[in-house]
Amino acid sequence: MSAHPTSGLDEVVHQRHRLGILTIAVESKRVEFGYLRTTLNLTAGNLSRHIAVLEEAGLITVEKGYEGKRPRTWISITPRGRDALAEEIAALSAIVDSLGSRDRT
Amino acid sequence: MSAHPTSGLDEVVHQRHRLGILTIAVESKRVEFGYLRTTLNLTAGNLSRHIAVLEEAGLITVEKGYEGKRPRTWISITPRGRDALAEEIAALSAIVDSLGSRDRT
């Protein structure tokens, strides 16, 4: 019996805020901390915690710098992050398709 | 700026094992604890904890009984559970579609 699609999900990626961070980061070369914070409607502390988990897992890199005189933090997805997100999306598609194809009367 | 699809996710439903429980339960009138445990590859303790969270949130009901002399536990999804799962699947579809439509070179 093949494993259920949810058993293959990686909690590091699947957790909803981390999934949000990765789905935004994959869209561009790098993304700025403040943009992530407002788009995902998170506190700076909460966002920092999730970024630390993703960085620890090697799925993103974190770059610190300045824009003019203002300190800035950017994150970029890594190749491993792209692969992990692709696996997550494949599993989510399988879940969505399995429910979509069912005739829900 | 519309909220990111992941911000609408409900952690009670989105957590991968609970999502697994609901996607199986929605397929039938009721589903037996042992079947869930093997299909989702969970320990009885872990499964019980997630069932308690879903029951507490009113997304499933739990029924205890016997099959012959053997004690059995069945869970059934509630109308609120069906709605919550439908919202989760809609959000997951939006995430999958948004990444699918992107030209990922």
pLDDT of the residue at A90: 93
Please answer yes or no on whether B40 and A14 come within 8 Å at the CB atom.
Answer: no
Size of interface A-B (CB pairs under 8 A): 86
Q: Does domain B10-93 have CATH number 1.10.260.40?
A: no
Q: How confident is the model at residue B103 (pLDDT cuts 50, 70, 90)?
A: very low
pLDDT of the residue at A43: 96
pLDDT (tens digit, 9 = 90+) per residue, B13-63?
999 999 999 999 999 999 999 999 999 999 999 999 999 999 999 999 999
Half-sphere exposure of B16 (CA within 13 A, CB side): 19
Q: Within chain A, which residues score under 50 in pLDDT?
A: 103-105
Alpha-carbon span B22 to B4, nearest angstrom:
23
- Which residues in chain B have their CB less than 8 angstroms from residue A28's CB? none
Cβ-Cβ contacts under 8 Å for B13 (sequence gap 6 or more): B19, B22, B59, B84, B85, B87, B88
- The residues spanned by each domain of chain A are 10-98
Please answer yes or no on whether B6 and A16 come within 8 Å at the CB atom.
Answer: yes
Topology of the domain covering A10-98: Arc Repressor Mutant, subunit A (1.10.10)
Question: What are the CB-based long-range contacts (under 8 Å, 24+) for A29-33?
Answer: A29/A76, A30/A63, A30/A74, A30/A75, A30/A76, A31/A74, A31/A75, A31/A76, A32/A72, A32/A73, A32/A74, A33/A72, A33/A73, A33/A74, A33/A75
Q: How confident is the model at residue B85 (pLDDT cuts 50, 70, 90)?
A: very high
Which residue of B7, B24, B40 is in closest CB contact with A20? Answer: B7
Cβ-Cβ contacts under 8 Å for A26 (sequence gap 6 or more): A77, A81, A82, A85, B99, B102, B104
ipTM: 0.84
Residue A21's identity, in one-letter code, is I
pLDDT of the residue at B102: 55
